[in-house]
Amino acid sequence: MSDSQTPNQLAIQESLKARIISRPNPWVGAVIVPYGFQDDPAKWISGHTQRYKGDHAEICAIKNAGDLTVNATLYVTLEPCNHFGNTPPCTEAIIAAGITKVVVGIIDPDQRVSGSGIQKLLEAGIEVEFFSDADRKSIIEILLPYLWHKKTQTPFILLKMAVTADGKTATSTGDSKWISSEASRKFVHYIRATADAIVVGASTVKNDDPELTVRYGYETELLNQPMRIVFGGVPEGSKIEPCIKFSGDIVNFLDEFKMYDFQLVMIEGGSNVAAEFMSSGLVNMIMLFMAPKIYGGNDAFSIFSGSGPKYIKDLQKGSFGAVELIGGDIKINYYTEDTVEFINSISEITRNVIADT
């Protein structure tokens, strides 16, 4: 913990520890600042959501703090729940712990919560404040798959691609190992560990024979590997087996797998599958790993196959999210237009509650 880190930032950092293990529950972080220790980070106590049906972040922090909860301030990235589910309401535990102030990141869009947690705390005489705009934006980006799934009852679709600086995903021969750095590939395994399913095309399986499993140590946190789905057939003896072979139309994809209640589906290529998902409007986010390498020709593979629009006015529009450097590569998060509108709607829900508080 850095001495310059705020309780808000520590809570956000703590939430990432739950990212792999907490699904389908949201990955939440909480920090308790005991009374009189606002300026002493060494005395702050944190907690994060445990495995499904286990303790929520607030409960973990309360248990870790013991008697230090009396007159303390609780910082939590998502509104505390106020209903009985697999665990009792977090609001009741907060009240019973003697916490006198709660600082909340964003409102939980779950209809069982959605402002009722805030209302319960206020009725108990607990002071409620909210994270800064910048911190709330970070939380929304981190929680997007949960938020999207909770509001739409459909999976959040993430397209991951490694590209050269001039936008190529493979040479003219199909060679793509490796465009991105070792550090980027390790990060991809972390993202895989958060996915319910990984989708690739038959050509990718034929050319690369990928396992598409979670490795680099992240598999130790999983109860099950993500489901592997292939668009088309799979050669006998492929490393991706066992997998599900999908031969239907892309427009039926969501209905075909609705029974699994996926929260996050990760598309890992190739360019045909990427183009199908993108043109169908199913993609929420593109995660690009841009390597400092140049192909230099026009005969290599690009992110999407096929022809694009003839005019600039017809281009699909979106917005960039987080951009960071990983192992010499630039990781860029791009959100499609529908997702940008959704992010704005989630922000508006929290703003409306803040206005009424």
Please report where in the chains the tokens 């140590």 appear, as a residue. 217
Quote the distance between the C-alpha of residue 163 and its chain's center: 21
Whether the Cβ atoms of residue 61 and residue 12 lie closer than 8 Å to each other = no
Phi first, then psi, for residue 254 (nearest 5°) are -65, -40
Whether the Cβ atoms of residue 100 and residue 111 lie closer than 8 Å to each other = no
DSSP category for residue 181: -
256 carries an active-site annotation: no
β-pair partners for 324? 331
Whether the Cβ atoms of residue 59 and residue 92 lie closer than 8 Å to each other = no
Q: At what angle do helices 7-15 and 133-152 cross, to 10 degrees?
A: 30
Residues 6+ apart with CB under 8 A from 127: 100, 101, 102
User: Is the peptide bond between 44 and the residue preceding it cis, with omega within 30 degrees of 0?
Assistant: no
Contacts made by residues 82-85, CB under 8 angstroms, sequence distance 24+: 82/112, 82/113, 82/116, 82/117, 82/119, 82/120, 83/112, 83/113, 83/116, 85/112
In the chain, the amino acid numbered 122 is L
Whether the Cβ atoms of residue 65 and residue 29 lie closer than 8 Å to each other = no
In the chain, the amino acid numbered 56 is H
- Could you tell me the two tokens for 96? 């019973």
Active-site hit among 58, 79, 268, 276: 58
- Could you tell me the two tokens for 266? 């990760």
Question: Would you name the residues annotated as active-site residues?
Answer: 58
